[in-house]
Structure 1
């Protein structure tokens, strides 16, 4: 009974976090990692989880939640023929390799260092979202190797360190080289699979046996959060999508950019104060 009493606040906090993440993910058309990580960090903090494992736990749990949504999205986009399979095949080593490197780095890094990394990357993405122009172009087609391999590995590293599926990063890469945003979004679902599966394994192994983790955790993945949030985010994402349809693409980009900026500032403040 005492165990259930202790667990109830944890469950209620995660349900609330999943509701917010699902709506915002639906609004901004992303997998939700950039939203889930800061929410997890603060919820885990409210529940008394030690700071030295809190950020790693947020990152690993976020990637675990992205696995089924990425697979489901990829299968749907592939059936429509919208995925650039040639690009994905060329990244089958680069992206997972980068993600595993990120998991290894995260296991050794401090919580403060990971928050700094998250905040800096989020600020760069926010700049892109707020000031993005359709005229920005680096070329008319995607570059070949070794540049392509390095970009894939870089997307894996940055996504693994942020606990995201890489959609924003891949969309930026593909649109800068003349691909449509629709193909970018479709291909990003496959990139999410290449990131989330090795990322899940990496964060489990990286946190194996670490003290201070909450109940029902395997390494840096908390399965209560995973099982609770997957159905909630999937159910409420259409609500966010409905809100999004009432806004222009530009308003959505600016809104997400502002959101990322606020999260970055807040993370910086948790380190300074």
Structure 2
């Protein structure tokens, strides 16, 4: 893979799980990484410690990405610290297992504010710096829930469907400015929140996946590093499903 040495990245929601793994993998490939977190200061600190152990520069930024002013500030702090921004990974998000009847307006708004609005305004604020980079990349973390039907995830699935539209439209609009935009759709990934839902066990979910196992955060991180690299220089507007083959099967998740 082409090295990311000299490049600067911002990864949102990088204090835990997929975001943490992506931040560490980008650093492993040579990037300096701004580690955003919403509430997990300890997790973000651990991410930075692991980045620094690789000999790379990393620092934390706290912000509530449901708030436009915080989206703008977080991006600006990353640009100010590194003097540039080459890679934006929109990963911070929230999900709840709620049926249609159980989904309140407040919960619906919370998910759209973070999962969609936060992505949009981070991308908007980062676009100028990414254009100056001459090699700018935006990677949006979506989900197989945006493609497959899934009971009790109606609002979350709607946000991830919106991420697909956002990714494809940004790819068209930003291509003339030298910015590539792609998304990753993780499948069933080994993160703490996933297996707290009724019926969602490693065994039950793994048995539905052609590769016969659930995924791990590094499975997503290595794809993110590829998309950020020059090796993916002709790839834009795509959603890459990293799911062990789950989306090749018909039916719901």
> What TM-score results when the alignment is normalised by the length of structure 2?
0.31
Q: Which has the higher contact order (CA 8 A, sep 6+)?
A: 1
Structure number with bigger Rg:
1
Give the helix-richer structure, 1 or 2: 1
